[in-house]
Structures are given as C-alpha cells and as structure tokens.
Structure 1
C-alpha cells in the first residue's frame, strides 16, 4: 500500500509545472497576433525568458513542493528518483519552447541520448530499491538528518533541494545551448555522441556488476557464509568508482555539444558536478573504511586501483621475499 501511495505521489508531484508550461504553449500557439507577445504580461515573460522560466518552475515545483512532500513523509526519496527524470523533462522543454532553434539532427540525437541515459539510471534506481517506490532515501540525507537534528527540517530545503537545482540546471545547460543555435552538425557532434554513449555503457556495466556483487553477498549472508569484502573484478578491477566515471563522461561529453555551438562557458555545470562527486567519493570511501570486515581489503584496493579513470593496477608495494 505504501509503495502504491508513493507511486501516485511520484506521478502527481511534477504536474503543476507541466500543466503550467502546456498552458503557456497552448496560449502561444492559439494567439491571434503573429508578433511576439509583450514581455510585461505573464505569457510574454515566459516567451522571452526560457532559461529563467525553467528555473522558476524548478524552484516552485521541485524545491518548494518536493520539499513540503518530503517533510510530510519524513523522507526525501522523491528527489533521487527525479534526478533521473528532470533532464528528460528539460531537454523536451528547451526543444519545444517557441524561441528554440536547433539543427534537427543535433536536437534529435541529444534527446534520444538523454532518454537512454534516463532509462538506464532509472532502471538502476528501481533495481537497487528492489522495485519499490520510496522505500528509503539517500544514505547521505540520513547522515545529515542525524548530524543536524531538529533544524534539519529547514536545512534540508537548501541541502537537498536548492542545491539540486544548481547542479541539475547547471549540467543541463548544454541542452539549452543546443536549442539556441542552428549550426550544422559536424565532426565534434559525432565525437560527443560516441563519448556520451561510452559513458552510458560504462556506467551500466559498472552498476550491474555492483548490483550482482551486493546480491551475491546478501545470499552468502543468508546462508551464514562469510561475505566477499570487496568488489575487485570486471571494470571495478581498473577503477574504484567506474560508475562515477561513466556519469562524468556522459555529462562532460554533453558539454562538448554546447562548446561546439559557441557556448564554452557552460563548462561550469559539469565542473561543479565533478567537484561535488569528488566530495561524494571521499564520503563513500570513508564509509567503506568504517566497516571492519572490509577495511583492510579496501585500503589495499585504494593503494592499487585508480580512483575514477579505469587504468591498470599499481604494484602493491609489498617487497618480494629474497630467494636463498
């Protein structure tokens, strides 16, 4: 019953912004005058300021409404799910806005790639949550709730929601750039497409191998057998966080499209996201070292394995015994 309730909440939560935007498009397409609407009216302002409108809708619908829902449920799980969905909503928003102009091939390819990225990440989210809606929230939010105590109810607005607006709008800026230029497709678009697909594929295999590792350890635990302390096979043999690497490759490759149409300043989006993920990497590794049954094995793993970029193992540094 709880999962059904959460599913209903997930489907209904974004409707205010979706319905508002559809109303704007309907009004624009059925107006009598062919000239652009004046900017001193609501629909005129929406027409002249597509990026600001995206931020206003995000603030009202995600930052405020999702936050209130999280307070009522005492669980901020909804933002995790919509991290995988909002980029799809944004790419369609930028593509459908009346001021949009874009090379048809570039727009279509990026839209399809964003859907593929979203389906992969959404599938991984539900697989990890055992196909339940809102079963739990991000472990980092749990730790912050314990750390801040009673003030967490208002701190969560900034830490969980407003910060997500900065990250998500920032890393999705290339979608706006793509739909603000009709520069023809060229070799850089082809290279960006290959790199984007590579990032999605790497992240898929990394997350799948991690899921199988966790599932096997849970099975061993149920049968009273000792668990495997560390995942050091497959792509995880060459990187301690290949799933993070795949995600970063996706976002930086998406930025190449923006750079290619003359919006190189948009590197700030993936850069901020990479810095945030670097901090998350530190938190994850500290958490791993707090687990006594795997701390020693993980320290050795750290010494020998690249952090993000897959690379060959380093030598362990243990001297070989001299032969007599």
Structure 2
C-alpha cells in the first residue's frame, strides 16, 4: 500500500516540478503536498476494508475534506501571487545553476513527507486490531469533535486573513482582527490541533505511535517551516507595526491579548 501511494505522490510531484521549471513559482509544491495527502486518504479509504466501517467513513470523509480544503486555500493563494514565494526564491538563488536538479530533489523530498503525514490515516484504515465497542464510540466522537473545531477554526482564520489581504487599504498593516486578535498564527494552531484526532482514535486500536504526530507537527510549525519564517518576513516588511502586535498577542495558542 505504501509503495502504491508513494508512486502516486511521486507522479504528482514530478508533474508539478515540470510546471515550476517553466513558471519559476515553486510555491506550487505546497499545493501538491496537500493534494497528495488528500488522494492518499481517498484511495486508502476506498481500497482497504480491514478497519471498521465507521473508521473508514470518518477518515475517508473528514481527512479528505480537511486536505482538499487546504489544497484549495493554498491554490487560491498561489493563483493570486504575482511573484515567487520568498522562501523558494531564496532557495532558487542559493542553488544557482543547479536549481532545476535542486528543486527536483526538493519535490521528491516533499513526496516522502506526504507519505510521512499520510501514515496516521493509512494506519487507521488498515488496522485489524480495532474491535468496535462503546469505548470505540467515545474515542470516535472525541476525534470528530476535535476535527470539527480544528476545521472551523482554520477555515475561519484563513478566510479572515485572505479577506484582509484583498483590501488595498491594509497594505503594510498587520492582521489583528478576528481570530488573529488572540493568536499571531491561529491557522497554525488549528492545523496542529487537527493532528490530535488521529492518536485519539488510535487509542481504540492500540496505535500509540500516532501520538508522535502532534509533537512532530508542533516542531515543524514552531521551529522549522511555519512560525519562524512568517515572523521574520512580517518584521522585515511591517517593522514596528508587527513588533507592537508581537508584544500584545500570543504567538501560538489563542489567548486574551495584553493591554
């Protein structure tokens, strides 16, 4: 199963790499990553029949909707960009004459990450250890509640930021309204929250290894790909306006802002 989805993800990444080779806008890799996970989940939910039907329906619908929504959001953002994402523009300059091969390796690495972050869903869909009982009903309801809250929170945060950026009057200003009043990165917080749904559901099948995923996602968002880059870019372009925002607003977990 893992080989099948890996081949699927590699094909998607290769296709997007060819597009990026011509348009020089490597931000498409983010769209491809999310879409790859969505397809992995849909394929596994349709093909595998070992897990209880309730788990197959929940993962097949909830997880695929989650990643398809994220794919649409990233694609919409990509479509409105007039120049390459600064992260990838910096990578392109650093790789110089080897940028095509460098981005090929990077896209293949992203295919591997798509498999890594598909594993919680794939393991739940392929488990034979889950015997459905009252305990299973409770963990499914808990997972569904977490998924619903996370979906609503991230969707709202993304929509609020998108609408804010569409207004020319907000050029050079910091989004500090709605959910962004209580967290500088509410979209990342709800993305992180979503990953708790899988280990909680995994309790019914003894899949305790899935608890590594909220930790892994927190490390990625907090230290590697998410918050550090976003904060650096915001400080570079909005200066004191963003420093004031930092002083009064929680970085990650939504909290009442300081006076």
Q: 2:183 aligns with which of 239, 243, 246?
A: 239
Q: Which residue of the other structure, out of 131, 135, 138, is the alignment partner of 1:183? A: 131
Structure ID, larger Rg: 1
Question: SS of the counterpart of 1:173?
Answer: helix
User: How far is the alpha carbon of 1:228 from its aligned partner?
Assistant: 6.2
Partner of 2:32: 82
Q: Does 1:169 align with 2:120?
A: no
Q: Distance in 1 between matches of 2:94 and 2:180?
A: 32
Matches within 5 A, 1:200-219: 200-216=151-167, 218=168
Q: Match of 2:221, SS?
A: helix
Does residue 1:91 correspond to 2:41, yes or no?
A: yes
More helix by share: 2
Contact 1:170 1:269 in 2 (8 A): no
CA deviations over 1:167-212 (Å, ceiling 9, x no partner)? 3222221211221224323211111111011111111111111112
- Measure the CA separation in 2 of the matches of 1:259 and 1:165: 28
Q: Which runs of 5+ in 1 are unaligned?
A: 1-49, 222-226, 316-324
Look up the SS of the partner of 1:149 in the other structure: helix
Q: Secondary structure at the match of 2:159?
A: helix
CA distance in structure 2 between the aligned counterparts of 1:140 and 1:183, rounded to whole angstroms: 46
Higher RCO, 1 vs 2 (CA within 8 Å, ≥6 residues apart) = 2
Structure 1 residue 148 displacement after superposition: 2.6
Change in 2 beyond 3 A, CA 1:52/1:275: same
Contact 1:202–1:243 under 8 Å retained in 2: yes
Show the counterpart of 1:102.
51
8 Å contact from structure 1 (residues 102, 178) kept in 2? yes
**Structure 2, unaligned runs of 5 or more:** none
Change (3 A) 1:124 1:163: same
CA RMSD of the aligned region, Å?
A: 2.5
User: Conserved in 1, the CA contact under 8 Å of 2:12 and 2:32?
Assistant: no
